[in-house]
Every structure is written in structure tokens, then in C-alpha cells.
Structure 1
Amino acid sequence: MGNLESVGSPALWGGFIAFVIAMLALDLGVFHRKAHVVKFKEALGWSAVWISLALLFNAGVWWKFGAEPGMQFLTGYLIEKSLSVDNIFVFVVIFSAMRIPALYQHRVLFWGILSALVLRAIMIFAGVAMLERFHWLIYVFGAFLIVTGVKLFLQRNKEDHPEDGWLMKFARRTIPSTSTFHGHHFFAKENARWLATPLFMALMLVEASDVLFALDSIPAIFAVTRDPFIVFTSNIFAILGLRSMFFLLAGAVEKFSYLKVGLSAVLVFVGAKMAAVDFVKIPPALSLGIIATLLGASIVASLVKNRNAQPASKPLPEAHEV
């Protein structure tokens, strides 16, 4: 574990945070200065950029600190990346239910994910501190992940309606708002009153959903490592690539019908691994292999199901008497 002590040096923390700020500034200030519909080709390019940067960073961790931290980052990134796909299902529902134009969806996701970076950092440091002080919490986290995985499996076909939840009802009662869009603005003045636009309401739901998903994903990566730098960087790389992945997969999420089964299996596995950490030691490489296999199998099964699905048969033309 000696290498892990060097991973979180102040220089590395400062360099990584500066990198994140620079990439966010480049994203919003250069490539998305003007609101536009993000097309598939653009989303594919940005997805490739974020994944490449994450893997390059992973190679740097592997080279500087050794195989174990490198494997932990890769496993954590894979867990966070796969669980973030579940966010996409919810984001699609939010934007559809609130009729957010495709032109402004990137802006909502950008600010939602920016706040998510701060919230994740707070939750990660709080989680590490709690686990260091109260070791028994690791069993609680493990049990929570197992229950969450089982619940996700049982409710895999249930439709989400976040726009009808208690948060939105409370917000509509307490925050003066309008149903009228005012371009890309979150607030606008109507009749001398400042009102929240539908974009702000959608932003609230995006942020709330990310907090809920963080309750699953952060304990999940604690089953891999408790090093705050590895946990934080793998989380952040997964979140930074979430927007481009949304525009890449938003129109195809329904095709991955078995993905939630794979995600539920991953949560149960990492929960069991966490709960049994003092009794059973699972090598990082084996954990990575199991998680990749579970996710890969669910994706392949989904694709096979779609390929084998027969198109609805067209009705035969009516016979006419001669």
C-alpha cells in the first residue's frame, strides 16, 4: 500500500483539478459557446475524447504507482461509467416529460454535471472519513448496495416519472416559475417578476437524480479502493463523459433491455465484495474481469434480443372477388 500513499499528493490534486477546470472552460467557452443541437457525430467524437483521456490518465497512474492502483482506477472507472448509463435513462425521461428542446439540453446537463462534481467531491471525502473512523460502516454500505441491486432488478421495467415526484411538487409551490421558455436562460423576468424557466426546473431534477445515483456509485467504488484520489478521479472522468454519452445513447437506451439486469448484478457483486472484505480477498484483476463480464453479457444479450426480434407482420391485402 506504500504506493497508494503517494497517489494523493497535493501536486497531483492541484494538477487534476486544474485539468478539469480547463476542460470545462474549453467545452463551454469554445465548443459550446452557442446553443446548438448536439448531433451523433459530435457526441461520438467527444465520447472518444473523454474515454481516451481517462485511459491515458489510467496509463499514467499504472506507470507511476504500479499495477494495483492502475487496476483499481480502471475498475472504478468501469463501475462509474456503467452506473452512469442509468442516469441517461432518467435524463431522457426528464427532458421528454418537461419538453426541453434538444437545443438547450447540453446547457442543462453542463451545469447539472458541474454541480455534480462538487457534490461528488464532498460525498467522497465524507465517505472516506466515515469509513476510516467507523469501519463497521463498510458492512452497511455493502448491504445497501446488495439491496439496491436487487431493487433495481425487480423494478427494471418500471417507468420513471421524476417530473411528478415530491421534489418537483415542492419546487413548484415554493419557487415562482413559468412554463414559457426564454431561450437558454434559467431565469427570466415576466411582468416585473423574476421567474424560474422550465430549464431551471429540469436542472433541479438532473441534480437531484445525480445525488441519488451517487448514493449507489460512490459506495460501489469503495469496494475497490478507499484511496480518495483514485475514487475522485475515476468518478470525475465518468461524469465528464456523461453528457456526450447522453447524446450518443439517448435515442438507443430502450434497445439495451438487459442493461439494468447487468447493472443490478454489478451492484450485488460489489456489495457482497464490500460486505465480505474482512473475510474474502478478491484480487483487483478478478474484480475487473467479473464486472466487465457482467456488463458485457447484458449488452450482448440486449443486442441479440434486438436482432432476433421479428418485425411486426404486415396485414395481408384483402381479397377481392372477381
Structure 2
Amino acid sequence: MLEVSALGWIVTIGVIVALLALDLTLGVLRPHVVGFREAAGWSIFYIAVAIVFGIVFGSVYGWGHGTEYFAGYIVEKSLSVDNLFVFVIIMTTFAVPEKYQQEVLTFGIIIALVLRVIFIALGAALLSMFAFMFLVFGLILLYTAVQLFRHRDEDPDVGENALVKAGRRFLPVTDDYIDGKMVTRIDGKRMVTPLFLVLLAIGGTDLLFALDSIPAVFGVTESAYIVFVANAFALLGLRALFFLVKGLLDRLVYLSTGLSLILAFIGVKLILHWAHKSISESVPEVATPISLAVIIGILIVTTVASLIKSSRDPSLKAHPGSLRASSNDQQHAKN
């Protein structure tokens, strides 16, 4: 079992907070329209930081743990691309001006990181106390995979987001965006702007993704430290990646199918691990290098097949998928 000293945790958190502060400075204190060159540069920077960390980590703690980190990072990075799909839908639905998109994305990433810290701590505690939680996590991922595959050609209904509905019901909301503010005063009355509702929508989405992504990464490692750093480094580059790939997302027509296969694979891996520990050691387990190879293979096949399909039929549009039928589809089913 991996043991990281208190100093190791402090240094790691310090690096992540410093990178987060850099992202906050770029996204909030200097709001502007992000061009392709800037987005590409920062995306390469954050991926390079994640790779360098993995190399250093593997050299210090052994490449068994290093492989687990890279597997976890790739899983979280691939799931974060699906996050980007939903972020694009949210930005479009609320007609967020481009110069304010950085701000809300940066705060959304902070919310996502906080939620993941909470879920990682909870998940690690449950797994250490109850072996059957591996079975529970595995079944959750299998259910998620099936639902995502069933609704792979749908978009989540942003208007049905519980936090957004509550915000509209209980908070006074301005009609327009006001200088990138989330809270303002009009005629002496404190009001929230639509940007605050966008943040609620992103926060609610992050909560749902955390419920899926944390069990997924625990499927490749039992170390809370590796789960944390894999999540943190995958999320830190999300702001730049959003502006880099938002034009490409529509072409990834098989991404939801690929993600459903990855979640199903990790779900089976967790169930086998539970059976190996709780029923019989003769039950085979899936080694981490095999997991890494399968995950990378699915992502490569999914991406190549998507680009080929979309080039042959430019009218096709990719969808992030949904865990349930949209309200419109449910209405059609009733009719």
C-alpha cells in the first residue's frame, strides 16, 4: 500500500494550489476571449506538468504506483472531455459572452476539485472499512455505463438541473450579464446575474460527474493520494482545453459509446477485485498495465472512428450522452 508522508501531501497540495491560483488569475482577473494559440499553449503546459509529475512520482514511489497514476489520469481526462460537452451546452443555453466564459469555468473547476476531495475522502474511508464497497462501486459504474450507452445520442437537459431550478425560483435574477458579476445591486436590491445560474449549472453537473469519476478511478488504484492527484491534474487543464477543443467536440460522435465501454470495463474490474478478496483468491483480477492498455485502446479507436464517421457525414453532431431520457424524449414516449 502506498504511504505518502505529510510533507509529500503538503508539497503536492502546494503545487496544485499554485497552479489553481495561476488559472484563477488568467480566467478571472484578466477576462478576455481565448484564442486557439493561447488555449493550445496552456493545454500543452498542463498536460506536460501532469506527465512530469507522473515521471517523478513513479521514480520515487515505484512504477507500479506510477502506472496506476497514469491510468487514473487518463480515465479522469477522458471523462473530463465529456464534462466539456456539457459545459458547451450550458454556455450555449445561457448565451454566456465569450469574455466571461473563462471566469465561470475557473470557478467551476474549483467547485469540481472541492467536490472530488470530499468524495475521495469518503470513498477511501468506505473502501478501507467495507470490502463490499468494491462491489457497490462496480455496480454503480455498470449501471452508469448502461444508461450512458442507452442515451448516448442525447444531451442533458440543463433546464432540469435542480440547482438552476432552485436558483430561478428563490433568487432574484437580472435579465442581463453585468460586467461579469455574479451578484449585483439594482435600485438598492441585491440580485444575482445569469452568470450565477451558469455556475450553479456547472456545479450541479460537476456533482454528477464526481459520483461517476471517483468510483472509476478507484477502479485502477486503491490509493487516495493517487486518486486525488489524478483528479487534480485532469481538472487543472480543463479551462484551456475547453477553448481548444470546443470546435472539435461535435466531431467526436462515438465518445459517449467509448466512455460507456470504459466505465463498464472498470466496473467489471472492481467486481472481480471484490470477488478475489471476499470470495476466492482463484477469481482472476485485471492488472493495472492491462487496464491502462484497454483504456488507451478504447479512446484511440473511439477518436479515430469518430473522425472518420464525421468526415464522411459532416451533418452528424456528437452528444455528451445522458444518464436518463430528456424531458422531451419522455414526452414523446408518452404520446
The TM-score normalised by the length of structure 2 is 0.89
Match of 2:254 among 242, 255, 258: 258
Match for residue 10 of structure 1?
Answer: 6
Query: For 1:173-228, what per-residue CA distance to the aligned partner results, in whole angstroms no more than 9, with x for missing partners?
Result: 11222122111111010111111101111001111101100111100011111111
Maintained 8 Å contact 2:141/2:263 = yes
Match for residue 216 of structure 1?
Answer: 212
Query: For 1:96-119, what per-residue CA distance to the aligned partner results, in whole angstroms no more than 9, with x for missing partners?
Result: 001111110010011111122111
Match for residue 300 of structure 2?
Answer: 296
Query: For 1:130-180, what per-residue CA distance to the aligned partner results, in whole angstroms no more than 9, with x for missing partners?
Result: 111111111011011011011111101112221343332221111222122
Give distance in 2, aligned partners of 1:266 and 1:110. Answer: 27
Q: What amino acid sits opposite 1:272 in the alignment?
A: V
5 Å-filtered alignment, 1:226-305, equals: 226-277=222-273, 278=276, 279-305=283-309
Q: Which moved more, 1:23-32 or 1:213-222?
A: 23-32
Give distance in 1, aligned partners of 2:19 and 2:9. Answer: 15
1:110 alignment partner, SS class: helix
RMSD (Å) for aligned C-alpha atoms: 1.5
Maintained 8 Å contact 1:124/1:232 = yes
Maintained 8 Å contact 2:134/2:270 = yes
Query: For 1:229-253, what per-residue CA distance to the aligned partner results, in whole angstroms no more than 9, with x for missing partners?
Result: 1000000000101111111111221
Aligned length: 308
Q: What amino acid sits opposite 1:97 in the alignment?
A: T
Match for residue 27 of structure 1?
Answer: 23
Maintained 8 Å contact 2:162/2:204 = no
Query: For 1:77-124, what per-residue CA distance to the aligned partner results, in whole angstroms no more than 9, with x for missing partners?
Result: 000000111111110111100111111001001111112211111110
Determine whether 1:93 maps to 2:97: no
Give distance in 2, aligned partners of 1:196 and 1:250. Answer: 27
Match of 2:197 among 197, 201, 214: 201
Give distance in 1, aligned partners of 2:315 and 2:261. Answer: 30
- Identity across aligned pairs (percent)? 40
Deviation at 1:30, TM superposition (A): 5.6
Maintained 8 Å contact 1:93/1:161 = no
Deviation at 1:310, TM superposition (A): 6.8
Unaligned runs of 5+ in 1: 313-322
Match for residue 118 of structure 2?
Answer: 122
Determine whether 1:187 maps to 2:191: no
Unaligned runs of 5+ in 2: 277-282, 317-335
Give distance in 1, aligned partners of 2:223 and 2:267. Answer: 18
Give distance in 2, aligned partners of 1:238 and 1:254. Answer: 21
Maintained 8 Å contact 2:19/2:236 = no
Q: Which moved more, 1:259-268 or 1:244-253?
A: 244-253
Deviation at 1:280, TM superposition (A): 2.1
Match for residue 315 of structure 1?
Answer: none
Maintained 8 Å contact 1:187/1:194 = yes
Match for residue 107 of structure 1?
Answer: 103
Maintained 8 Å contact 1:94/1:163 = no
Q: What amino acid sits opposite 2:251 in the alignment?
A: K
Determine whether 1:306 maps to 2:302: no
Determine whether 1:59 maps to 2:55: yes
2:29 alignment partner, SS class: coil
